[in-house]
Amino acid sequence: MHIPVLTLALLAYSTVTFAAPKPDQPYSQWMANSFLSKSQKINQHYVASVLYEGLQRAASLHQDSALLSFTSNAVSSLVSANGTLLGWNSTYYSIDDLRVGNNILHFWNSEGRNSSKYETAATALRKQIDRWPRTPTGGMWHRDPVYKNQMWLDGIYMGQTFYATYTSYFEPSNTTAWNDIAHQFDLVEQHCRNVTSNLLVHGYDESKKAVWADPVTGGAPHVWDRAVGWYFMALVEVLQVYPKELPGYVKLRGYLAALAEGLQKAQDASGGWWLVMDEPYPGMEGNYIESSGTAMFAYGYLKGIGTGLLEERYRATATKAYGLMIERFVTREANGTLSWERTVEVGSLNTDGSYEVSNLLLLVCAPVLMNGT
């Protein structure tokens, strides 16, 4: 049960100071409190939003009221009394910025469904989706104007988990919305999936103008583990709320099943996954077994198995990955906190997307100790 929280809390860092945690806590709670013992900056960026979800899940699981009230207050501080999300620009379209909508919806739901400020803020984000710039075939742009006509796997997690959760609460019979959500996954599948390996490249450009875009598919050249991790989690999370009677449900189940198969094949003997996952890069100089992607895959498998979306036969894959996380990626510091190592700070399609150029970034950034910097 510690996986979801540990994973989510580990994916992100942000800069609030908390007492040092006690090392006898379960990993998820220990890690969550370790994050908070470092200096934390409260904001609505997706990195902080994902961290808050990890903290909130650890808090709920272990009934850690200090942790829960920290998280609830952090999210509340992002929305003014009249429902304005602080710092939000209603005409700036960056799909990463929808991610905070999940935190708002979580506290709207868990705190009695009567907060009009949360409802107003979430509805404003939802209405923005109706105005979102889209590709000719209806895909939501990753960001306007810098990533016009592009869809990235990361964006599917940031945008579609919010769109689906909002729809499940406020418009459960809006079939147009449900179909639109499934369509976002369809487009990524059509352009990014390698049907042999069952893995997906980082994103695609429908206009094929990006320097990295494949002339036929528009796809990026490489399979990046964290992007695939976001996508795997997006499938598992959206399927939690997607109506089973709609055709989109069966399609999303199929996408999840194929990816689960591909990831199992791509798992390294150590239990982890390579940062750059496509052949021939696993094992190559400069590439390495990366911790955030490994944590996301472990989470996706365990959540998928626990909710009946994935077969029990994947459990060994997940537990092996979890074992590696505890053994190699988590460091117990002398002051009683935990650190998370062997991850990459960022991976983007703002370069030519090649292994060589991306690699320079890795040399500079990895391994990053996610210690609140």
Ligand X SMILES: *[C@@H]1O[C@H](CO)[C@@H](O)[C@H](O)[C@H]1NC(C)=O
Contacts with ligand X by CB under 6 A lie at: 20, 37-38, 80, 82, 84, 89, 91-92, 112, 114, 130, 171, 174, 176-177, 180, 194, 196-197, 279, 333, 335, 337, 371
Minimum CB separation of residue 288 from ligand X in Å reads: 19
Instruction: Give the residue from 76, 38, 82, 41 showing the smallest Cα distance to 56.
Output: 76
Minimum CB separation of residue 260 from ligand X in Å reads: 17
- Give the DSSP letter string of 158-169: IIIHHHHHHHHH
CB nearer to ligand X: pick between 268 and 333: 333
In one-letter notation, the amino acid at residue 196 is: T
Question: What's the CA gap between 7 and 273, in Å, rounded?
Answer: 15
Minimum CB separation of residue 25 from ligand X in Å reads: 15
- Structure-derived torsion over alpha carbons of residues 290, 294, 297, 303, reported in degrees to the nearest 10: -150
β-bridge mates for residue 205, sequence order: 150
CB nearer to ligand X: pick between 65 and 196: 196
The length of the chain, given as a count of residues: 373
* Strand spans (E) along the chain: 150-152, 203-205, 273-274, 289-290, 330-332, 338-340
CB nearer to ligand X: pick between 33 and 103: 33
Q: At what angle do helices 46-62 and 27-37 cross, to 10 degrees?
A: 130
Instruction: Give the residue from 218, 134, 119 showing the smallest Cα distance to 169.
Output: 119
Minimum CB separation of residue 266 from ligand X in Å reads: 9
CB nearer to ligand X: pick between 119 and 333: 333
CB nearer to ligand X: pick between 116 and 207: 116
Minimum CB separation of residue 368 from ligand X in Å reads: 12
CB nearer to ligand X: pick between 319 and 339: 339
CB nearer to ligand X: pick between 217 and 351: 217
Minimum CB separation of residue 92 from ligand X in Å reads: 4
CB nearer to ligand X: pick between 92 and 346: 92
Instruction: Give the residue from 326, 331, 362 showing the smallest Cα distance to 346.
Output: 362
Position with the least CB separation from ligand X:
112
Minimum CB separation of residue 116 from ligand X in Å reads: 8
Instruction: Give the residue from 186, 141, 142, 185 showing the smallest Cα distance to 160.
Output: 185
SS3 state at 356: helix
Q: What's the chain's Rg over C-alpha atoms?
A: 19
Question: What's the CA gap between 143 and 146, in Å, rounded?
Answer: 6
